[in-house]
Amino acid sequence: MSDKHTPHIKATPADFAKTVLMPGDPLRSKFVAETFLENPVLVNNVRGIQGYTGTYKGVPVSVMASGMGMPSIGIYSYELYNFFGVENIIRIGSAGGLAENVQLRDVIIGMGACTNSCYQEQYNLGGNFAPIADFALLRKAVNEAEALGVRYQVGNLLSSDVFYNANPKFNDGWHRMGVLGVEMEAAALYMNAAYAGKKALAICTVSDHIIRGEALDADARQSTFTDMMTIALNIAASEN
């Protein structure tokens, strides 16, 4: 841990709470801070990646955007874990549904994160690493979802490196293997956490269903995503 800022985060370790919520969108970071946190302070805005720290239920909590894709969350989560003393990162994002039992607005709690990325090759493992969530955070997420009456699913996510895939059948195999939904960040977050000896969890709201061709409009996304945020915030309050 260093007192010097990095090329991507202009802050000090004291600026961040033990737990950081990490949406992809900087504006969603701002929304969480202004809607849920008491006395939020902007602690980072390098490249417009907004990071805030405030309190929730009297406990310090931070929220900072990750940007889109594994390279982006790979940078920010690595720096938070290794240079700023952060212990827990909870991704809060959207996912495209794949499994038949997944419905729009469902919250997916990512027990694991399959990927088509080569992110793991840096570790020279000689095999395939299975990125998984921290079980204690996952169990708390399930308990919070049940207490709030939120419809949720627990299982595998697919973290894809490609949004516009040239192969129209790309998702078919993952669907066959029971993957619940597709997003673009969780696998890198889980690998960074494992390498740093820290904890991570991805909680995603289903904004569209890839197989059935269903999708929420912009207004529905905004009103629905607050369930996922509340689950993550309650976990963060219990971790500090």
> Which amino acid is residue 143, in one-letter code?
N
φ/ψ of 132, rounded to 5, equals -130, 160
Contact 115, 191 (CB under 8 A): no
Q: Of 70, 27, 68, whose CA–CA distance to 48 is shortest? A: 27
Catalytic residue among 3, 15, 106, 208: 208
Tokens of 14: 């004291």
H-type alpha helices, the chain: 26-36, 70-83, 135-148, 170-176, 186-196, 218-239
| Dihedral (CA of 169, 174, 180, 186) sign | negative
Tell me if residue 208 is catalytic.
Answer: yes
Active-site positions?
A: 208
